[in-house]
Structure 1
């Protein structure tokens, strides 16, 4: 990708976080899903680390080799033709310097955003706040040095921790971390796993910055999320698992019935081929 084109995509993606409307961001797992989402009118797409890892034959949690993940991101960028933000989990590095190297490599694929988690790989315990801040700061410095104004979505993993932390203390520390990540160069805060409206509203008020939530059954709808001040909604692994569930059910029906009547879909070979024809617009 030409660097100027990438810069323009990054600037466009950044404008999508101006909080004038909710950015609905589907998470893809390969080039085909990315192409489908773009052709269905989504202004940008994200990757799901789990979906990408599974498609590469690995478990989630930074188990997929970074070079394979980078190659997959590059294919997604090429297929999508809209801004792509990449989930890089905890940054694929033990140190801030290694996180910076990962961010530089992701920018080289053509991506214009990253997610960085503040937990340990594989949804482990939260990092020390100072360490997490240093990693965000290193990511921003790497991006600034590249000249591509990527959007850094800093994940606050408090609601992924299945412990007995008192809710008020959890929220207070999440706010403190969110503010520190923003000061270090993050653009958006992602309290993954949080869906309770009053807590979301309190977080948004305290941060006064774009906040990302994960879509899912039981979450407030887009209209309610907009009222709460949410700037961005992503689908995490849910579209990947939805696709896998459809295939799994078709396989079960085929084995149980001995016939192939379940191998009928509203989406055909021709529909898939059409995704890769020149865009009529």
Structure 2
């Protein structure tokens, strides 16, 4: 089953978000149908803050190592595209496709002094130009468009998300990713307002997978929360070793 069709099943596609070869190989061994990179986790692993502080070539290297060591579909979190215009973003997408990547995430917010939403119309034009270029060059990649109205606590996040989802659907998006949405009624509302598959992300109060399935969600992501959980555990374990003056806690 190709990557796009994985978004059309009764049960949502559960994406294991990975940051290196080891995490990707574990996901494959556990029979995940697909994996996706976490930009925040990769940034933290390399000593950067999230928000395109690293060079695209550094992301590209990590993606190449993951793809060379796994065989399941890989989607890449491209953040805002690592480019100042659709042409530069498209160039980056082509480089990822050459590695075997089948999907990307593009987000409608940018990080300066703080993360801010781009105007919906401006971002829609970027999506449209990218999709048109893909069509012209017969490039097949799943464009999962992330909208950050909930993540950034906008005044009316539901109405803003619905407006943006419709704009991005019309511009050619293949899926809509809404990090930060957790309330069942909100999720149901956005699912019913678009023909595109809706992607939600791990949050403390996100409903369980069975409820998300009943609401019509088609994709579930882990974000950087798995990475954070693991390294919080590493810190706790090392701290225990120091207190006990023994390696017993790791055996």
Q: Same fold (TM over 0.5)?
A: yes
Q: What is the TM-score with the length of structure 2 in the denominator? A: 0.94
Is 1:104 the equivalent of 2:91?
no
Is contact 2:150-2:158 (8 Å) kept?
A: no
Secondary structure, counterpart of 2:143 in structure 1: strand
Who is 2:166 aligned against? Answer: 179
Is 1:134 the equivalent of 2:125?
yes
Q: Distance in 1 between matches of 2:174 and 2:181?
A: 19
Q: Deviations over 1:161-188 (max 9, x none)?
A: 145x1x3xx2222112111111212111
User: Structure 1 residues 144, 57: CA separation in 2 closer, same or farther (over 3 Å shift)?
Assistant: farther
Is contact 2:80-2:108 (8 Å) kept?
A: yes
Task: Select which of 6, 20, 24 maps to 2:10.
Answer: 20
Is 1:56 the equivalent of 2:43?
no
Equivalent runs, 1:183-222 vs 2, <5 Å: 183-222=170-209
Task: Select which of 38, 41, 45 maps to 2:31.
Answer: 41
User: Structure 1 residues 138, 79: CA separation in 2 closer, same or farther (over 3 Å shift)?
Assistant: farther
User: Could you say which structure has the higher strand fraction?
Assistant: 2
Q: What is the TM-score with the length of structure 1 in the denominator? A: 0.84
Is contact 1:103-1:143 (8 Å) kept?
A: no
Q: Deviations over 1:77-116 (max 9, x none)?
A: 1222100000010111122222222212221221100000
Question: Any gaps of 5 or more consecutive residues in structure 2?
Answer: none
Secondary structure, counterpart of 2:84 in structure 1: coil
Q: Which runs of 4+ in 1 moved over 3 A?
A: 141-148
Who is 1:151 aligned against? Answer: 142
Q: Distance in 2 between matches of 1:239 and 1:144?
A: 35
Q: Distance in 1 between matches of 2:137 and 2:25?
A: 27
How many residue pairs get aligned? The number is 250
Task: Select which of 74, 77, 91 maps to 2:81.
Answer: 91
Is contact 2:127-2:168 (8 Å) kept?
A: yes
Who is 2:212 aligned against? Answer: 225
